[in-house]
Chain A
């Protein structure tokens, strides 16, 4: 849970003048597939050869079979839908709040300086430490898990946005001032586009953290979703089924990351980390 407990320092989106990511060669893709295949083989062989007790780690084929069974039930799909709903609502609220509050605090020096120490205090509080509070306030409803998700994701975005607002180029700012841009124009046409790459990195970090906290909430508080199914599978001794669900959450994590990357590439067409062609 340490990953969700502390927020890393703001990530500078990309070095200026950097070329696009190196092209993914078929060679590399093959190596990646080979890695996955090896991992799955080990997962199958270790329990079968008795090196690992199959009570705790059933062979992969059992997991796959359990997953197939699960996928045939409406319960599984409802749980998946619940998890995705909690995740997206929480992430959405955290994103909106983080961007608006970050832009506001970042643009006003007095606010920035007065809130700095409060943020430094609140930020490292592990979201899971709020579980008792969440349960007190909302019982085992979705809101309880949402509270954790929003709390954890919000800091990721806020910190990135704060860093982004500070990164406005002085020459660009002089340009805006010399053309007598109004405050609102400066915010929407200069500060926001400068902040956007940071906000997108924040979004990507927050998306993963939000998923972790969604599953955590379901697992511990018992709000409906994949996490609760995992807990139920565990208590009823359906080990293969439990692993199958864990695999699903892992795949969800991969999908979330891919989605975030896609958003990044679309939104930041012009950014040095994404753009393809350059004459200079």
Chain B
């Protein structure tokens, strides 16, 4: 299995995570969520993060998004250390119904972050129109999010992120709550947007098929406390479609490999070379799993 490190490092580095460590302090009993994560993401990459449930996927994403301060380690985005939500980043959350503001129309929801960026009115309108069109919702700008189906609501959230023109787009299990049909459509939409906009995409999911179908790279996380099980390169053709790609023999091999890794992670298996470099003394401490 080839790993991402084999790839020539021509692209500039977008995101760098070094020795990320996160311990939750609750009621005096510390829970070690993330033990030690180190990885890089190049500009323009599409990286999926999978792992068993409770593997700290969302914790990782919230740390990168600057919404949660890490206990240790460094995160930098475009060369600048992350301390609080960075510029040039947009996040699509799993819970679209709670992420969209019900008191604003679809267009207003998309426009609000642009107002915050102090963009002139004409520019805002252009971006709102273009991004709604890109997600196939050009016809409902004046509807309220709650008048739309779940899949359409998540499209609005994606349009809002796209209109913001981020350099990196992060998605936290965005399609976990939509039906299978809609899910396939939205996966293709995300691939399409990634192609067209040339942004960097970090996609967190628990769905192995989805991770392989979407990603050029899949980071498989271990169970808590989280380390990286393996950094899997997805050597599938760049043109993907739901039926053809998923029927490729190589797709099956990759799926079997990642599936095995996740199963191992579930059983509490840890990579042999559990990282020790760069980790502080906290790593040695034993926390109840």
Residues of A within 8 A of B (CB): 169, 171-172, 174-175, 177-182, 185, 189-190, 193, 196, 270-272, 275, 277-280
Known: A270-B144, A275-B146, A278-B147. A182 touches B99 (CB 8 A): no
Indicate which residue in A172, A196, A277, A279 contacts B98 across the interface (CB closer than 8 Å): A172
Indicate which residue in B65, B85, B115, B146 contacts A270 across the interface (CB closer than 8 Å): B146
Indicate which residue in B103, B116, B149, B150 contacts A185 across the interface (CB closer than 8 Å): B116
Known: A171-B99, A270-B102. A182 touches B116 (CB 8 A): yes
Indicate which residue in A174, A181, A270 contacts B93 across the interface (CB closer than 8 Å): A174
Within 8 A of A (CB), among B127-150: 144, 146-150
Q: Which 4 A-B pairs have CB atoms at the shortest separation, nearest pair first?
A: A171-B98, A179-B113, A193-B103, A178-B91
Majority SS at the chain A contact face: loop
Report if B89 contacts A (CB, 8 A). yes
A162 → chain B, closest Cβ, in Å?
Answer: 20
Contact B93 A271 (CB under 8 A): no
User: In the complex, which residues of chain A have a beta carbon less than 8 angstroms from the beta carbon of B103?
Assistant: 193, 196, 270-271
- Roughly how many angstroms separate A279 CA and B149 CA in the complex, as a whole number? 6
Contact A279 B148 (CB under 8 A): yes
Contact B65 A178 (CB under 8 A): yes
- Roughly how many angstroms separate A174 CA and B93 CA in the complex, as a whole number? 9
User: In the complex, which residues of chain B have a beta carbon less than 8 angstroms from the beta carbon of A280?
Assistant: 146, 148-150
Report if B112 contacts A (CB, 8 A). yes
User: In the complex, which residues of chain B have a beta carbon less than 8 angstroms from the beta carbon of A190?
Assistant: 101
- Roughly how many angstroms separate A177 CA and B65 CA in the complex, as a whole number? 10
A196 → chain B, closest Cβ, in Å?
Answer: 8
- Roughly how many angstroms separate A174 CA and B101 CA in the complex, as a whole number? 12
Most buried by B among A174, A196, A272: A174
Contact B101 A193 (CB under 8 A): yes
Report if B282 contacts A (CB, 8 A). no
Q: Count residues on chain B whose CB falls below 8 Å from chain A CBs.
A: 28
User: In the complex, which residues of chain B have a beta carbon less than 8 angstroms from the beta carbon of A171?
Assistant: 93, 95, 98-99
A188 → chain B, closest Cβ, in Å?
Answer: 11
Residue interface mask B13-51, A partner, CB < 8 A = 1: 000000000000000000000000000000000000000
A64 → chain B, closest Cβ, in Å?
Answer: 46
- Roughly how many angstroms separate A272 CA and B116 CA in the complex, as a whole number? 27
Known: A171-B93, A193-B101. A179 touches B146 (CB 8 A): no
User: In the complex, which residues of chain A have a beta carbon less than 8 angstroms from the beta carbon of B85?
Assistant: 177-180
Residues of B within 8 A of A (CB): 62, 65-67, 85, 87, 89-91, 93, 95, 98-99, 101-103, 112-113, 115-116, 144, 146-150, 152, 164
- Roughly how many angstroms separate A28 CA and B211 CA in the complex, as a whole number? 56
Which residue of B has the minimal Cβ distance to A192? B103
Which residue of A has the minimal Cβ distance to B109? A175
B85 → chain A, closest Cβ, in Å?
Answer: 5
- Roughly how many angstroms separate A270 CA and B108 CA in the complex, as a whole number? 13
- Roughly how many angstroms separate A204 CA and B115 CA in the complex, as a whole number? 34
- Roughly how many angstroms separate A215 CA and B116 CA in the complex, as a whole number? 48
User: In the complex, which residues of chain B have a beta carbon less than 8 angstroms from the beta carbon of A174?
Assistant: 62, 65, 67, 91, 93, 99
Given contacts A172-B101, A178-B90, A279-B148, 6 further A-B contacts (CB under 8 A): A177-B67, A178-B67, A178-B89, A178-B91, A179-B113, A280-B146
B215 → chain A, closest Cβ, in Å?
Answer: 22
- Roughly how many angstroms separate A175 CA and B99 CA in the complex, as a whole number? 6
- Roughly how many angstroms separate A179 CA and B160 CA in the complex, as a whole number? 10
- Roughly how many angstroms separate A266 CA and B108 CA in the complex, as a whole number? 19
A123 → chain B, closest Cβ, in Å?
Answer: 29
A17 → chain B, closest Cβ, in Å?
Answer: 9
User: In the complex, which residues of chain A have a beta carbon less than 8 angstroms from the beta carbon of B115?
Assistant: 185
Known: A171-B93, A270-B144, A277-B147. A189 touches B101 (CB 8 A): yes
User: In the complex, which residues of chain B have a beta carbon less than 8 angstroms from the beta carbon of A177?
Assistant: 67, 85
A193 → chain B, closest Cβ, in Å?
Answer: 4
- Roughly how many angstroms separate A103 CA and B112 CA in the complex, as a whole number? 22
User: In the complex, which residues of chain B have a beta carbon less than 8 angstroms from the beta carbon of A278?
Assistant: 146-147
User: In the complex, which residues of chain A have a beta carbon less than 8 angstroms from the beta carbon of B65?
Assistant: 174, 178
Known: A277-B147, A278-B146, A280-B146. A169 touches B98 (CB 8 A): yes
User: In the complex, which residues of chain A have a beta carbon less than 8 angstroms from the beta carbon of B99?
Assistant: 171-172, 174-175
- Roughly how many angstroms separate A171 CA and B98 CA in the complex, as a whole number? 6
Known: A189-B101, A193-B103, A270-B103. A175 touches B148 (CB 8 A): no
18 A-B contacts (beta carbon < 8 Å): A171-B93, A171-B98, A174-B62, A174-B67, A174-B91, A174-B99, A177-B85, A178-B90, A179-B90, A180-B85, A180-B87, A181-B116, A185-B116, A190-B101, A271-B103, A278-B147, A279-B149, A280-B150
User: In the complex, which residues of chain A have a beta carbon less than 8 angstroms from the beta carbon of B112?
Assistant: 179, 189
User: In the complex, which residues of chain A have a beta carbon less than 8 angstroms from the beta carbon of B89?
Assistant: 178
A185 → chain B, closest Cβ, in Å?
Answer: 6
B62 → chain A, closest Cβ, in Å?
Answer: 8
B94 → chain A, closest Cβ, in Å?
Answer: 8
- Roughly how many angstroms separate A179 CA and B157 CA in the complex, as a whole number? 12
Most buried by B among A172, A175, A179, A278: A175
Contact A175 B102 (CB under 8 A): no
